[in-house]
Amino acid sequence: MSSATLASKTFDSGDQAFFAGLSGDFNPIHMDPRVARRTQAGAAVVHGMHAVLWSLDRLAESGVVRGGIAGLKVQFAKFIPVGSEVSLDLGRQDDKSIRAELVLGGLTTTVLNVSLGKAKAGGGTVLPQDFPETGLADRPVEFVEPGAVAGLSGRMDIAGPARGIEDRFPHAAAAFGRGRVAALALLSRLVGMICPGLHSIFAAFAIDLIETPQREGALWFRVSGTDERFRMIRMAVNGAGIDGSVQAFLRWPPVVQASMSDVAKLVAPTEFRGSTALVVGGSRGLGALTSKVISAGGGKVVATYATGRDEAEQLADEIGTHASQDACRVIPYDARRGASGQLAMLACEPSHLYYFATPPIARQKEGLFVPSLFDEFIQVYVKGFYDCCCALGERTGRPLTAFYPSSVFVEDAPAGLAEYSMAKMAGENLCNSMNRSVGRVRVIVGRLPRLRTDQTATVPPVESSDPLEAMLPIIRRVQSSRPDS
């Protein structure tokens, strides 16, 4: 499809703060990079509706919607990370509609279809006036199961957002009407703060513009349907000059791995006594779980973190409470940087290495194979692992058993994971070479199935295994193995 770029913009943290204040959508996926890191977005992302309103403002400014607007349909396809530049590309235009896309690095993040014409005289899904008012809140509501929102309804006052609309979106306000633009901004609050709230993904909306003078001051909403299979929620919205539907997904909350108490039930207290494990990438996910298992068995652990210092310290506290205070220490470690210098602060000589360092695995990308992404995986899964093994070998002079977590995806890579599976295969080849050489490091490779972690959480249901069940026999095998045996 041929298209022309109309405008481009980089949404920065100031934009995030502005739109959160305007719309009342303070969902941490937009506002807190530390929390957003553990979501499917992997980083703080732009409010989708902010990007839409900016697009409408550019479209209105350009004059292409001069004949009036009758409706708007938007599909949010991909996240827009804060700090990345998007372009607004104008697609098909005729006398009935205009199609536009927001594009980020060749990927379409948002598709907009503007229907041209006049607002309808009235009608639509008129929702009862007596719905309770849903006021501003600084924390989103947390729903975990879609069924919990069934029947939810409410009303949001547009006065707050309407005040800031003309300054930031003057052309859209002139073309749509200030109240309608404010109502669109409120859709962000509806999804991000109210329904489904904390764990939401705004998927799509479709609205008609209507003339309803008696319902100008507020936007009414009601959950019109849920689908438990796909964790999907549909809502009807009406008021402030718009009428239509909103669709959102309820994403899975961050995965909570088994607690020390749970782990201790399965591990004998002296099972791993006398061992010291360096767990790279130990602050969360499989690394944190492995740290707990070894500590529960009487072993010592040094868990590393790249960015999640708070999570690492919480892990050390949890382990310290159940085992001895010095059972788990934490250190910073970035697998993309040289290992020797970073491991200089190690106050022990590890007998075992567990290497869970990983960049985000599921990526938004264009095309079958992205060389730069492959390079990124190779850097961590191959070069980083080898560097870490060499640094430990040189440092300690002690035999070392290392665990290399490969993946069943090296045999059958799902769509979109070519770079990941290729890099893991390269890592396996490296491990084989290391085991054939006369070195101090013996590597045990395990092809892990899809396990429940933040990295594997998806909205569409995908079967995944229990991490503790999968990891416990592997850890026992690694711990019982001696490189010189």
Partner 1 sequence: MADQEILDLLTRVLRDLLMDDSIALTMTTRREEVRNWDSLVYINFIVAVEIELGIKFKIADVESFANVGEIVAKIRTMLK
Residues in contact with partner 1 by CB under 8 A are 1, 73, 75-78, 92, 99, 108, 111, 113, 201, 203-204, 227, 229-230, 232, 247, 249, 368, 415-416, 458-462
Nearer to partner 1, 34 or 92 (CB): 92
- 358 closest CA partner among 391, 324, 402, 404: 404
Return the number of the residue (92 or 163) whose C-beta is nearest partner 1: 92
- Look at the block and give the residue holding tokens 């990345």: 84
Largest CA distance in the chain: 83
User: Could you tell me which of 211, 183, 205 has the C-alpha nearest to residue 120?
Assistant: 211
Closer to partner 1 by Cβ: residue 363 or 476: 363
Structure-block tokens of residue 285? 């996910």
CB of 171 or CB of 365, closer to partner 1? 365
Cβ 101 to partner 1 shortest distance, Å: 8
Question: C-beta of 414: minimal distance to partner 1 in Å?
Answer: 10
Residue 12 corresponds to which tokens in the numbers above? 């920065």
Residues 6+ apart with CB under 8 A from 80: 11, 45, 46, 48, 51, 86, 102, 104, 109, 110
Provide the minimum distance between the beta carbon of 106 and partner 1 in the complex, in angstroms, as a whole number.
10
CA distance 408 to 44: 30
What whole-number distance in Å separates Cα of residue 62 and Cα of residue 167?
18
For the CB of residue 417, give the shortest distance to partner 1 in the complex, in Å.
12
Cβ 472 to partner 1 shortest distance, Å: 27
**Minimum distance between the CB of residue 220 and partner 1, rounded to whole angstroms?**
24
Query: CA 262, CA 419: separation in Å to the nearest integer?
Result: 35
15 vs 168: CA distance, rounded Å: 10
At which residue do the structure tokens 């973190």 appear? 305
**Cβ distance to partner 1 smaller for residue 107 or 426:** 107
Rounded CA separation 235/221 (Å):
7
Instruction: Compute the least distance from the CB of residue 109 to partner 1, in Å.
Output: 10
Output Rg (C-alpha) for the chain, integer angstroms: 26
**What's the Cα-to-Cα distance from 396 to each of 332, 347, 382, 393, 484, rounded to whole Å?**
19, 11, 21, 6, 15
Q: What is the nearest approach in angstroms of partner 1 to the Cβ of residue 99? A: 6
Q: Which residue's CB is nearer to partner 1, number 111 or number 426?
A: 111
Nearer to partner 1, 247 or 257 (CB): 247
Smallest separation, CB 193 to partner 1 (Å) = 20
Burial class (CB in 10 A: 0-12, 13-18, 19+), 443: buried
Nearer to partner 1, 229 or 436 (CB): 229
Place of tokens 């962000």: 188
Of 78 and 120, nearer to partner 1 (C-beta) is 78
